[in-house]
Amino acid sequence: MANGFPCPNQSCKHSFRIEEMQGAQSITCPSCKKSFALRNPNKSTPAIPPKTPVANAAKNQNKIEEDQGLVFESKSEIKTYIPTTKKTLPKKKKNSGLSLSQVFLLGIGMFFISVSFAAFYIIGLPLLKKEIKNDTVQQTEVGPELIDSDFFTFKPLNSYTKDQKLAQTLQTKFAYTGKEKDLWLLYYKDFKTKNPTGTEMHQEMISRLKLFLSKSLEWEESAEGVEIGKVPFRKFIIEGTKEDSSAWVGDCYSANINGVFFLILCLVPIDSRDLVQESWMKFNQGLAIKSNAKVDWKPTPRKTRLVTVEKLKMSFAAPESIWLPQDIKDYDTNPESVFIGKNASDSGDFLNQKAKLQVFALPNPIKDEKAWDMVEEKLFELLKEEKTADTKIEKYVDTKHKFPELNNKNITAKVENFIIKVDDQIQKLIFWGRYSTKNGSLFFVCEIPFKTKDYWLEELNDILQSLAMTE
């Protein structure tokens, strides 16, 4: 073995002589018939160990190095030879898609994000809203903001909370609820260039009350008004029931300032009325009306029908939208003119609440009061003709409607009111007005449904203020 090289084939026992191998490129074993390539180990290419067990490979390597550095190289292994030197491999193109592990991690991330969002929505968001609400309430209690409008300013009471849902229900911008479940509401409407009629103001009030007290509603105007925001308001006492049959009471205030209608509603469950009166008063005191909001404002006059009484040289004007003229031939009282007053809104509480105005002319001046008494008695009889035997006519003192002096100083006026009772129930109010000049007297007799007397007396006053002399 020392004088030759063993055949690389481990199953072959043949040994090559050194002389056979020198200068040869390849050599064939005469025993196993396999050919082997020869190479010089001094070249840069590293030696490839024969395909032998690791232990034998180390032993054979030592022998080769001892024997003049010649190394066998199997042709069969050349095809599968992988050099041990590191070669630069082409870089793999990055795959634009996601691997399975990346998809898995992404799914886990999305899951935790979804769980976190759901937990915030279910638990965190309500707590955040509650905190914001508490902060808002606390801020309101510390100092509510001053609300400044073109026509008013007011500062809500600290102990009241703005109720947006209630405001939408009652069709207004300002609605507040108190600790006793009471409510305070402010509504206003600008009628621009005209003054709202009594019917329009009444309908604005009743329509909102019925939105809240939908089951039943009763009201009565107080004889004495109140001053709110340095402006006189009419006051109404309210009673009614909601849809759930709960009983409510309260006060309602209305006013018209230069064509702007104001309405204040104060309502509370009937058992808590005494607990809120002071709070309502303080709330109302926080309201200030801008009386000069409309500088040099004048209402657009309503279209009227001029009525001239030639025999007395007098005239008056009746609004066409309210007072409809009638044929005087249908009346035995021999009137100068007859009008039926029909509301602009003949619905709700004004349904069939019409007024009848008869105008009589007495050409000859009557200075004797006893003679006037006879005229009045005659007219009373005419009014009672279609009434039952139980009909009574009594004098009625109206402390609220005190008709002012007429614009024309040449006309003197005397006004009285009577009521017609049937079975001791007041049915109608009779307005009795005598307007005299040097030519005679004009007599106004107006039958008014008692329930709507306030409205009709206001409308009648507009007619009386238009009285004028034609000469």
Q: How confident is the model at residue 454 (pLDDT cuts 50, 70, 90)?
A: confident
Distance CA 176, CA 159 (A): 10
**Among residues of the chain, what percentage have pLDDT more than 90?**
30
How far is C-alpha 185 from the chain's CA centre? 14
- Which residues have CB under 8 Å from 469's CB, separation 6+? 313, 314, 315, 408, 410, 411, 437
Detail the DSSP E strand segments found in 206-301.
216-221, 226-228, 231-241, 247-257, 260-269, 287-289
How far is C-alpha 342 from the chain's CA centre? 35
Residue 174 has pLDDT above 70, yes or no: yes
Predicted local confidence at residue 111, as pLDDT:
77
* 94-140 tens-digit pLDDT: 555 567 777 777 778 787 787 777 766 677 666 666 555 444 433 33
237: left (phi over 0), alpha (psi -120 to 50) or beta: beta
Highest mean pLDDT among 106-110, 251-255, 284-288: 251-255
Predicted local confidence at residue 52, as pLDDT:
44
Residue 450's closest CA among 349, 360, 321, 326?
349
147-289 to CATH, choices 3.40.50.720, 2.40.10.120, 3.40.1000.10, 3.40.50.261: 3.40.1000.10
Residue 274 identity (one-letter amino acid): D
Residue 435 has pLDDT above 80, yes or no: yes
Residue 224 has pLDDT above 50, yes or no: yes
Domains 147-289 and 304-469 agree in fold: yes
Q: Which DSSP string corresponds to 404-453?
A: PPPS-TT-EEEEEEEEEEETTEEEEEEEEEEEEETTEEEEEEEEEEGGGH
The 287-289 sheet, strands edge to edge: 147-148, 152-154, 287-289
**CATH says 304-469 is which class?**
alpha beta
Residue 72 has pLDDT above 70, yes or no: no
SS3 216: strand
pTM of the predicted model as reported, rounded to 2 decimal places: 0.51
Q: How confident is the model at residue 74 (pLDDT cuts 50, 70, 90)?
A: very low
SS3 300: coil
Q: What is the DSSP letter of 329?
A: G
Highest mean pLDDT among 126-140, 224-238, 406-420: 224-238
* 304-315 tens-digit pLDDT: 999 999 989 999
Token output for 445: 């007799």
For the chain, which residues make up each domain, given as ranges?
4-78, 112-139, 147-289, 304-469
Residue 233 has pLDDT above 60, yes or no: yes
Predicted local confidence at residue 343, as pLDDT:
67
Residue 430 has pLDDT above 50, yes or no: yes
